[in-house]
Amino acid sequence: MIIQILNTINDDIKQIRTDVFMKEQGFENEFDEIDEIAKFVLLFIDGKAVGTCRFFPSDIEGDAHIGRMAVRKLYRGQNLGSKIMLAAENGIRRDGFKTCSLSAQVQAKPFYESLGYVAEGEEYLDEGCPHVMMRKHL
């Protein structure tokens, strides 16, 4: 297993996000202007890119936002999501942030809670999918 932190989006990241969010989950607006400023975590197993997320400064002082966390379907259930999140949190710490936030799909809320994230506020819909804001102090 290899984990990289990249300063720019690449084709591997785009393909994972297209497969998971657009093809599998039906989201339409997967790529945005945040991709131009974010850093990216990319996880490889046996040379194949299988998981990713991005992180960037949020609108809250001292907080970075993690988003677009995705693991290819065939590789789920192997604790890879936790490894991606840990790499993102380490990068966020190195960049001097004290907290990190994320917008979790409600079905993934228990996963993020297991990593120490706490829900904040009410659920809301993003492209028809229930989400909740979550935060963790680093």
Q: Say how many domains are in the chain.
A: 1
| Of 58, 69, 68, 57, residue with least CA distance to 95 | 57
Q: What is the pLDDT of residue 53?
A: 98
Predicted confidence at residue 81, as pLDDT, reads 97
Instruction: Decide if 72 contacts 37 (C-beta within 8 A).
Output: no
The predicted pLDDT at position 30 comes to 84
pLDDT at res. 97: 98
CATH number at residue 21: 3.40.630.30
Beginning with the edge strand found earlier in the chain, give each strand of the sheet holding 48-57 in spatial order.
2-6, 39-45, 48-57, 63-71, 99-105, 129-137, 118-126
Question: Residue 128: what pLDDT?
Answer: 87
Total-model pTM: 0.93
Task: Render each residue's pLDDT in the chain as its tens digit; 138 residues.
Answer: 999 999 999 999 999 999 999 999 888 888 999 999 999 999 999 999 999 999 999 999 999 999 999 999 999 999 999 999 999 999 999 999 999 999 999 999 999 999 999 999 999 998 888 999 999 999
- Domain residues for the domain of 119 are 2-137
